[in-house]
Structure 1
């Protein structure tokens, strides 16, 4: 897990959630913090660890928009009690989160996976390794006498 990228993602999500939901709705700071944490966790696990590594930056950025929208809308309905529609604010917040995602994805791809994370799938691009022995030819077959230096 790349903790620095996760921290950057959390700060971006927190700024956007606090700005949009905090200004237009009467929501407590604790609820906005919980929404930020859960949105970051879902987007990081599904979008960055799964989709980004398998499909690339463009597909991950597009899927992050829908993922952020659905997550923010559901969490907004659960945590924010209001008469105004949450969907429009979730749409704006997802849009602003999606604008920042390609930069975060480029940073994550540049840094590469950590030691503990798994390697990305290669989709059938296998490479064989061919090398000659670098040690002297001491062990030979009994039938090949011309290569045996002792006989």
Structure 2
């Protein structure tokens, strides 16, 4: 007998192939319990049990564990004051040229400036009060993204 998958109609956020009917398919003797039909934010399962592993094998996972190293260069950047009133100072310790882009909460670019490492001042006086997203890019990669509140 194949376990019934939890797949609500209409779709509910958080449902996935890993959600079975736990009440029907639980076995406390060999600890092969299936998880409840919901997950909490950030929840993960390191040992899904034989039934869960069998299901993953049925959909093509051979049980191998794959990994790769991801090198992330942390760019040291300070943006202050936050909240700000008219000017924002940006200090970057890394050498090189950067592009600063400022977006409003609607995703519209409201300011774009080039900067060189050191201190850069950005005039915010012509912008309305609210929350803005600052993106710092070097080349084609976004290295820093942070929120700044304008009073």
TM, length-normalised to structure 1 = 0.20
Higher strand share: 2
User: Which protein has the larger Cα radius of gyration, Structure 1 or Structure 2?
Assistant: 1
Structure ranking higher on relative contact order (CA contacts 8 Å, 6+ apart)? 1
Q: Please, what TM-score do these two structures have when normalized by structure 2?
A: 0.20
Q: Report which of the two has the higher share of helix.
A: 1
